[in-house]
Amino acid sequence: MCNLPVDLVGMGDSLTWGYPFGPEASWLELAARETGLVVVNRGISGETTGEMLARFDEDVIRLKPRAVTIMGGTNDAWAGFTVTEVIDNVRAMVDKALRAGIQPVMALPPPLCQTGSDIPVPFLEKMAGLLEAYREACRDLALSRGIKLLDFYTPLLDPATGWGKREYFVDDAHPSRRGYQVMAGVAIDLFRKLTQQANRPVLHRK
């Protein structure tokens, strides 16, 4: 275990954990490797925002990081949770972080991708609609709280189709290794700022 204090905790589901490759391939680890930030991956596959909220004190507050990224919603959309239910959970996590003196960072989940799987297209379309409503609510929350926002949606989107770019995904929801690299690129600027605030040298891949 590293003796350095934790700079950032990644709170999320499989899209933070790095499924299907594992945490070492996650955007969180890739960005940390590039910047020297000390991160803890608290992504758990299959979790909803309600389940994240239930473990937030144990997995985030207890570690006393300087920042936490919060990204969820894909599993909520699968389950059909309303925008109000999801944003209430996210808001509660944001407020817990703020009360503990931890900088919350909102992260917008990537788009879904039509890969020709056995998931019916109408169901995917319903999920995509819910996810976009969640993203809009998260954008509004970030603006109202004056907190930073990581947009993992736009860089992985194919504007011509309105779905995720096929080369960035391994299935309908999970990024490929290349997709996680693109997500890491979104996070690197924020991670570098946190590294500079901690007065630590920036490390680079060989």
Reported as a pLDDT band with limits 50, 70 and 90, residue 85 is very high
Query: In this predicted structure, what is the pLDDT of residue 72?
Result: 98
Structure tokens at 117: 């799987």
The CATH number for 90's domain is 3.40.50.1110
Whole-number Cα distances in Å, 175 to 25, 75, 156: 10, 15, 9
Query: In this predicted structure, what is the pLDDT of residue 199?
Result: 58
Exposed / middle / buried, residue 160 (Cβ in 10 Å: 0-12, 13-18, 19+): exposed
- Phi, psi of 122, rounded to the nearest 5 degrees: -60, -35
Three-state secondary structure call for residue 118: coil
- Residue 140 corresponds to which amino acid? D
Q: Is 142 contained in some domain?
A: yes
Reported as a pLDDT band with limits 50, 70 and 90, residue 201 is low
Q: Is 205 contained in some domain?
A: no
- CA-based end-to-end distance of the chain: 23
Q: Is 202 contained in some domain?
A: no
Segments of 57-200 assigned E as strands: 67-71, 103-108, 148-151, 157-158, 163-164
Structure tokens at 65: 């990081």
Query: In this predicted structure, what is the pLDDT of residue 180?
Result: 98
Dump pLDDT digits (tens) for 148-195: 999 999 999 999 999 999 999 999 999 999 999 999 999 999 899 887
Q: How many domains does the chain have?
A: 1
- Check whether 113 has a pLDDT greater than 80: yes
Q: Is 58 contained in some domain?
A: yes
- For helices 83-99 and 121-145, give the axis angle rounded to 10 degrees: 40
- Decide if 131 contacts 83 (C-beta within 8 A): no
- Decide if 175 contacts 112 (C-beta within 8 A): no
Reported as a pLDDT band with limits 50, 70 and 90, residue 205 is very low
- Phi, psi of 183, rounded to the nearest 5 degrees: -60, -40
What is the chain's mean pLDDT, rounded?
93
- Residue 190 corresponds to which amino acid? L
Query: In this predicted structure, what is the pLDDT of residue 197?
Result: 74
Query: In this predicted structure, what is the pLDDT of residue 133?
Result: 98
Distance between CA 114 and CA 162 in Å, rounded?
10
- Which position has the token pair 């239910």? 85
Q: Is 63 contained in some domain?
A: yes
Q: Is 206 contained in some domain?
A: no
Q: Is 203 contained in some domain?
A: no
- Which residue range forms the structural domain that includes residue 169? 8-197
Q: Is 204 contained in some domain?
A: no
Dump pLDDT digits (tens) for 4-36: 789 999 999 999 999 999 999 999 999 999 999
| Mean pLDDT, rounded, for 56-72 | 97
Counting every residue written for the chain, the total comes to: 206
Higher-scoring residue by pLDDT: 139, 194: 139
HSE value, Cβ hemisphere, 13 Å, CA-based, for 98: 13
